[in-house]
Amino acid sequence: MSLLITDECINCDVCEPECPNNAIAQGEEIYEIDPNLCTQCVGHYDEPQCQQVCPVDCILIDPAHPETPEELHQKYLVITGKA
């Protein structure tokens, strides 16, 4: 599953630079995560880096985009050109 940022986001700017896939960008009101680019850091790190740095814990699993660990790894391979 990709991750999503809830409306509790305070726009602190710490999550965006931590994303190795450039999946996080400023939206109209809060930061947003592109589910097509989010791999929960699979292939890069053991844990999602955005969740690690978020001071308000507003980054959750997105139930609208279910993916297995294998699917996340395959997405990582495609995004990084290693497929």
What's the predicted TM-score (pTM) here?
0.94
What pLDDT is attached to residue 79?
96
Q: Examine the pLDDT at 83 and tell me if it is beyond 90.
A: no
Q: Examine the pLDDT at 1 and tell me if it is beyond 90.
A: no
17-61, pLDDT tens digit by residue? 999 999 999 999 999 999 999 999 999 999 999 999 999 999 999
What pLDDT is attached to residue 40?
97
- What is the average per-residue pLDDT within 55-69? 96
Measured CA to CA, the distance from residue 59 to residue 52 in angstroms comes to 9
Q: Is 25 helix (H, G, I), strand (E, B) or coil?
A: strand
Transcribe 17-68 into DSSP letters: GG-TT--EEE-SSSEEE-TTT--TTTTT-SS-HHHHH-TT--EEE-TTS---
